[in-house]
Amino acid sequence: MTDQPILIIGATGKTGSRVADKLEANGVAVRRGSRSSDTPFDWEDQATWAPVLSGVSKAYVTYFPDLAFPGAVEKLEAFTTVVKQSGLEHIVLLSGRGEHFASMGEDVVRNSGLPFTIVRAAWFAQNFSEGYLRDPILGGVLPMPGGDILEPIIDIDDIADVVVAALTEEGHLGQRYEVTGPRLMTFAEMAGVLSDTLGRHIQHVPITFEDFHAYIAASGGEFVADVFTSIARETLDGRNAHTSDGVERALGRPARDFTDYAAVAAKSGTWTIAA
């Protein structure tokens, strides 16, 4: 390992914060990149890009709110040009599974000439405990479109472990790890696991994509709702109804099961209803 810090773009996000914390726990120097960080980074301000890259060895890159957002691919392409001028040794990109624009973002990094690793992720389990679906679950419902579509939902801690391995170990350059949970589940089955874990009934409510948009907008605003509803429309059609071995290939162990995720999240108190 070099003494130069590793840059985390999106260090306040679900995966970025975990990657930064795990690296620092392992004694690795980290530069956290966000609009509020000591060395700020803003996708909308190209003047912040070169300074945050100065003196770092590697970078983990996420795009908020998602690579599917209009203009994201073009910004990522412009960013890789700045990255190449910085002399970065390795870029790890977070991508989305089954998303057309995310795939285009992968191609940008793959064709940039930079040493890369791509982590292509399934739906995040933590959307239920830290994201836009937490409040509905507190109210006893899991509202999701897509009917009985099967999804190999993944624990974000697995994503973070894969990213940390890619940034700190040999053998990950040029790899694309498609990371999923170990089994396919319907959203009704996920609601059943949450019910068993919490000891109270969580009802899966099949909803339209329009209603899904309204649920997200209520907690995350129209901006986030537009993006995630677009992703849901694109991906909840059966295209992702298969598991992948990315976690096992990267880490040499199976991915965590949704039941394990639910137990850890419940223990943290995230779904505790105030008296």
Note the pLDDT of residue 132: 81
Give pTM, 2 decimals. 0.95
Length of the chain: 275
| Location of structure tokens 């894969």 | 162
Note the pLDDT of residue 219: 76
Domain for residue 122, yes or no? yes
CATH number of the domain enclosing 165: 3.40.50.720
Note the pLDDT of residue 162: 98
Domain for residue 57, yes or no? yes
65-99: per-residue pLDDT in tens? 889 888 999 999 999 999 999 999 999 999 999 99
Domain for residue 135, yes or no? yes
Note the pLDDT of residue 2: 59
Note the pLDDT of residue 47: 97
1-23: per-residue pLDDT in tens? 458 999 999 999 999 999 999 99
Domain holding 131, by residue range, is 6-187+234-267
Tokens of 162: 């894969």
Domain for residue 249, yes or no? yes
| Radius of gyration of the chain from its Cα atoms, rounded to whole angstroms | 18
Domain for residue 97, yes or no? yes
Domain for residue 34, yes or no? yes
Please state the domain count of the chain: 1
Residue 85 to residue 120: CA distance in whole angstroms? 26
